[in-house]
């Protein structure tokens, strides 16, 4: 019985640690996702046109571009506007350097959410390239490639670590229920002797597993709450969070407790 | 009510029971007597379907060992009370809780549990001890708690496996009187014992068993 009680403490502690880690990863994910989303939203495709292009061709081009899937907005930058932008960006008038405005007219395109990945941008860029009077297409190729590649590694890593610690918590609850079953083998055999159904015998162990999962989740939620509060107060007030995170933790804890105790009971109850 | 037809029980190839046939009628009091290791406990376990024969058939009430389904076993056990030599009480529960357990597992309402447990404890002369733990009671009292637990579901038979094995002769006689009283109210009793002296006090039909065979 003592061993089972100690195991309960260990199981609850490990569930709360596991879920706390999952919660921290959740917050990390949220903030990472927000940051990368902003990065992607800033991304634009510049379509440089033949400097001699006529106005009606430009209107026609704009229509063609708008018809491409995934385009959010198309903005035309005339030669003059390009010169103004140049001045804004570099603080120097282009006409100070060269007499004739060498800057070509262009379209600046923003893409819809979900189209801001390297693959999609490349595909859209290919379509744009095929249009008449399009000279060159520029977007932040490398940045997108890096973001796309590393985000997957980070997400995959997060999921793997999350699964691993969930599995450890699972094993610990499973084992605690096993110990509890053996510690209570007397009452189990007496209950069976006086006519308890297996469902009745099983129930308290499953309830106990669920309680361990839920208590672990509650502890993790409290710790996470204070962690968030601390970070927001002292380190980074714009931390992205969501109350759903706590619901997810509680749900996970409950599920974890239920599944592991059910499996443990299914395996060990028949042996006592 | 209870019938054995040519029952064989083998464990690891060794015969524990061989061609056992017997019958116990409704409301009967029967002694099952034989030396230790003869197979008495095995016969009792067959009756509450804790064990199944390799050959032959055990019939209890409307259930047969050949046909009974796993999920039926709890329901037949509610109609069979079992008492052991070592009482098998839960040391971390009071007398009241030990007896109430047999009703709790059957889903009886707690108000009714209270009423029925109090009545049976009074009948057994244990109402004063209801909040005591088993280890605070004498052997005879502990066995009466076990008997109370066995009869609280109003079974049609009480199986007593050497119920006096751990008790002195005087206390043994008291326990036998208690079983006698239960039997008088219509419950059948099958008592396994190797104590030939004791069973002379109250005469009943006796089934003798030796080395797994009825003699
Ligand atoms: N689970 C078991 N495994 C092996 N042998 C057993 C088992 N249960 C009982 N036996 C053997 O069966 C025989 C009868 O046992 P039991 O029915 O307990 O006898 P009794 O109750 O008359 O003393 C004994 O020889 C015992 O050793
Ligand atoms: Mg025996």
Query: Is domain B2-90+154-214 in CATH 3.40.50.300, yes or no?
Result: yes
Range B139-150 average pLDDT: 96
| Cβ–Cβ below 8 Å for B90 and A190 | yes
Question: Residue B205 pLDDT more than 70?
Answer: yes
Q: For residue B118, what pLDDT is reported? A: 96
Residue with tokens 């019985």: A1
Whole-number Å distance between alpha carbons of A206 and A193? 21
Whole-number Å distance between alpha carbons of A106 and B17? 99
Q: For residue B126, what pLDDT is reported? A: 95
Q: Is A270 on the interface with B (CB under 8 A)?
A: no
Q: Where are the alpha helices (DSSP H) in chain B?
A: 40-47, 73-77, 95-104, 110-123, 139-151, 169-184
Range B111-126 average pLDDT: 95
Please state the separation of Cα A267 from the chain's center in Å: 36
Tell me: the pLDDT tens digits for B153-197?
Answer: 999 999 999 999 999 999 999 999 999 999 999 999 999 999 888
Top-confidence residue, B67 or A158: B67
Best of B105, B113, B146, B149 to substitute, by most chain A Cβ atoms within 10 angstroms, is B105
- Residue A193: its chain B contacts at CB < 8 A? 48, 77, 82, 88
Question: Residue B144 pLDDT more than 80?
Answer: yes
Whole-number Å distance between alpha carbons of B206 and B102? 29
Asked if B101 and B128 count as a contact pair (C-beta separation under 8 A), the reply is no
| Candidate from A187, A192, A195 with C-beta closest to B106 | A195
pTM for the whole structure:
0.76
Residue with tokens 């007219």: A105
Question: Residue B23 pLDDT more than 80?
Answer: yes
**Cα atoms in the Cβ-side hemisphere of radius 13 Å centred on A108:** 11
Q: For residue B154, what pLDDT is reported? A: 95
User: Average pLDDT of each block of 10 consecutive residues along chain A (272 residues)?
Assistant: 78 87 88 87 88 85 86 87 81 74 87 88 88 86 85 85 85 88 91 95 92 94 96 93 93 93 93 86
Which range has the worst mean pLDDT, A2-16, B41-55, B83-97, B112-126? Answer: A2-16
The domain segmentation of chain B, as residue ranges, is: 2-90+154-214
**Cα atoms in the Cβ-side hemisphere of radius 13 Å centred on A75:** 10
Tell me: the pLDDT tens digits for B79-89?
Answer: 999 999 999 99
CA of B57 to the centre of ligand 2 (A): 21
Residue A187 CB contacts under 8 Å (≥ 6 apart), including other chains: B90, B101
Q: Is B94 on the interface with A (CB under 8 A)?
A: no
What domains can you pick out in chain A, each with its CATH number?
A: 2-37+152-271 (no CATH), 44-139 (3.30.70.3040)
CA of A226 to the centre of ligand 2 (A): 61
Q: For residue A154, what pLDDT is reported? A: 84
Whole-number Å distance between alpha carbons of B31 and B197? 12
Q: For residue A1, what pLDDT is reported? A: 60
């Amino acid at each position: 019985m003592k061993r089972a009680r100690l195991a309960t403490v260990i199981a609850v502690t490990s569930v709360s640690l596991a879920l706390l880690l999952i919660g921290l990863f959740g917050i990390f994910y949220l903030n990472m996702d927000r940051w990368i989303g902003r990065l992607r939203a800033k991304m634009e495709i510049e379509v440089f046109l033949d400097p001699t292009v006529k106005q009606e061709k430009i209107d026609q081009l704009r229509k063609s571009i708008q018809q491409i899937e995934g385009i959010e907005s198309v903005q035309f930058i005339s030669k003059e506007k390009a010169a103004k932008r140049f001045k804004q960006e570099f603080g120097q008038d282009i006409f100070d350097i060269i007499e004739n405005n060498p800057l070509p007219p262009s379209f600046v395109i923003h893409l819809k959410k979900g189209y801001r990945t390297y693959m999609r941008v490349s595909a859209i860029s290919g379509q744009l390239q095929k249009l008449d009077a399009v000279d060159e297409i520029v977007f932040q190729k490398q940045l997108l490639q890096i973001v796309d590649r590393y985000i997957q590694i980070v997400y995959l890593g997060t999921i793997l670590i999350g699964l691993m610690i969930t599995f450890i918590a699972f094993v610990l609850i499973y084992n605690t229920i096993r110990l509890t079953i053996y510690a209570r083998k007397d009452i189990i055999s007496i209950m069976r002797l006086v006519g308890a159904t297996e469902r009745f015998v099983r129930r308290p162990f499953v309830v106990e597993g669920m309680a361990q999962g839920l208590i672990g989740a509650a502890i993790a939620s409290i710790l996470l709450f204070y962690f968030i509060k601390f970070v927001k107060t002292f380190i980074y007030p714009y931390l992205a969070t969501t109350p759903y995170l706590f619901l997810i933790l509680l749900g996970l804890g409950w599920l974890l407790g239920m599944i592991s105790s059910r499996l443990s009971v299914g395996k060990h109850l028949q042996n006592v | 009510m209870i019938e054995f037809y040519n029952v064989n029980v083998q464990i690891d190839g060794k015969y524990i029971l061989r061609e056992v046939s017997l019958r116990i009628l409704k409301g009967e009091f029967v002694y099952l007597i034989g030396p230790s290791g003869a197979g008495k406990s095995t016969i009792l376990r067959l009756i509450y379907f804790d064990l199944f024969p390799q050959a032959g058939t055990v019939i209890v009430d409307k259930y047969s060992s050949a046909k009974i389904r796993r999920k039926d076993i709890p329901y037949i056990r509610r109609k069979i009370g079992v008492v052991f030599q070592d009482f098998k009480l839960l040391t971390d529960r009071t007398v009241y809780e030990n007896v109430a357990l047999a009703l709790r597992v059957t889903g009886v309402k707690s108000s009714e549990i209270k009423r029925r447990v109090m009545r049976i404890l009074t009948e057994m002369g244990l109402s004063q001890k209801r909040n005591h733990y088993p280890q605070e009671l004498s052997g005879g009292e502990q066995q009466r708690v076990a008997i109370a637990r066995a009869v609280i579901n109003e079974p049609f038979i009480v199986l007593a496996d050497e119920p006096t094995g751990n008790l002195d002769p005087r206390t043994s006689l008291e326990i036998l009187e208690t079983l006698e009283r239960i039997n008088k109210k219509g419950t059948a009793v099958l008592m396994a014992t190797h104590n030939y002296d004791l069973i002379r006090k109250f005469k009943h039909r006796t089934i003798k068993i030796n080395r797994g065979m009825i003699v």
